[in-house]
Amino acid sequence: MKPTGAPDDHAAAPLGDGTRAVHAGLPPDEPYAPPLAGPAFAAHYHLPGDPAGAPYTYGRDGNPTWTALERALAELEDPDGTAHAVAFASGMAAMSAVLLSRVRPGDVVVLPDDGYNLLARLRERLEAHGARVRRVPTGGEEQFRALSGASLLWLETPSNPGLDVCDVRALADAAHREGALVVVDNTLATPLGQRPLRLGADVSVASGTKALTGHGDVLLGYVACRDAEVADGVRQWRKIVGAVPGPMEAWLAHRSLATLRLRVDQQARTALAVARALAERPEVSGLRHPGLPEDAAHPLAARQMRRFGCVVSFTLPDLEHAERFLAALRLVHQATSFGGVRSTAERRGRWGGDAVPEGFVRLSVGVEDTEDVVADLLRALDAADRT
């Protein structure tokens, strides 16, 4: 892939992340055509004769807008590689497709016990279907000890919401020796922050609802696989359960990729500044951000991540203190997602699915000016202390 007008003698030079994100998945230049064609709204296609080999047959099987997005996602997850990407209606649809298409009765599955809270619902489904599930915390030796006889290892790094980090390459090597498939939930890092397939994982799965699309207006998920057979399995699952993305959502997601590097760079800068400011506050405990040099996960994160993400987590003294803080915020909105252009925060304990203190806050930094976000947080902390 070469950006329009790039000199031929530099064609072999690797593209930067921003350039790749801008051009990923675009069709070859065509006179007078838009660089990114509009969404294809189609439930069916003209289909004469034998449908075998037809690129598009029915709207649940494929769509040109999905194809362009999936090509872009594969390029971002595995630059200049051979990855296969499959888009889904949501991150949960993508997660479900991987687990429920791969795991069989009697299989041993290793899952994080500190990851995304709806993963627990999938665990219940797996166990109901006869799988044996081992749950272990992210990071540390327990993940390695749980691998004996495993058929699938699921990693979430950094974990959500605790922001622990695990060694993808070492765990992938150990899991492969057991014959296990290795899946990494890459939602928080995005492919510009971390490329699990390049670290040895077999599958990278993510919610595109979060930082990938970044505007808080799209529900989307995707799976990127090194093996075409694995990709075919999740693609068939998508067809059977109908968990297909809408063409408008797929088009919006592809459009949003062009600003991905700009957004994640600004968010990473602000998140680090926020973490440093919060570290000075006596009422703040349990502060986590993998980009903070003092964070326990930083040395490992620095080895396998290229950007450290937009999320900062911390704990205030109790539920009431946290609620006063959140109510006093002006620029930072209360919302349950993360990764968007607008800064958000929430008290995660209100959902009941995460093993966190009542005063635990997950903060997602947007693309506002760094100084303004920091000032809003400090002012709200002061207000919470005075009340």
Catalytic residue among 185, 202, 295, 354: 185
Report how far residue 198's alpha carbon sits from residue 307's, in angstroms, rounded to the nearest whole number: 15
For the question of residue 134 being annotated catalytic, the response is no
For the question of residue 235 being annotated catalytic, the response is no
For the question of residue 8 being annotated catalytic, the response is no
Report how far residue 42's alpha carbon sits from residue 70's, in angstroms, rounded to the nearest whole number: 18
Q: What DSSP assignment string belongs to 31-89? A: TTS-SSPPP---SB----S--TT-S--BTTT--HHHHHHHHHHHHHHSTTS--EEEEES
Token pair for 263: 């957004």
Name the DSSP letter for residue 299: H
Q: 3-class SS at 188?
A: coil
**Neighbour-count burial of 317, counting CB atoms closer than 10 A to its CB (0-12 exposed, 13-18 middle, 19+ buried):** middle
Catalytic residue among 17, 56, 107, 116: 116
Distance in Å from the first CA to the final CA of the chain? 57
Nearest 5 degrees, angle CA 91-CA 173-CA 125?
35
- Identify whether the C-beta of residue 377 lies closer than 8 Å to the C-beta of residue 328: no
Catalytic residue among 198, 210, 235, 362: 210
Of 194, 308, 193, residue with least CA distance to 261: 193
* C-alpha count within 13 angstroms, C-beta hemisphere, residue 369: 4
In angstroms, what is the C-alpha Rg of the chain?
A: 21
Q: 3-class SS at 203?
A: strand
Is beta strand 360-364 parallel, antiparallel or unpaired with respect to 285-288? unpaired
Report how far residue 269's alpha carbon sits from residue 309's, in angstroms, rounded to the nearest whole number: 9
Catalytic residue among 60, 135, 255, 276: 60
For the question of residue 239 being annotated catalytic, the response is no
**Neighbour-count burial of 44, counting CB atoms closer than 10 A to its CB (0-12 exposed, 13-18 middle, 19+ buried):** exposed
Token pair for 202: 């077999």
- What does each C-alpha distance from 186 to 123, 222, 224, 276, 354 come to in angstroms? 19, 10, 10, 25, 19
Catalytic residue positions, numbered: 60, 116, 185, 210
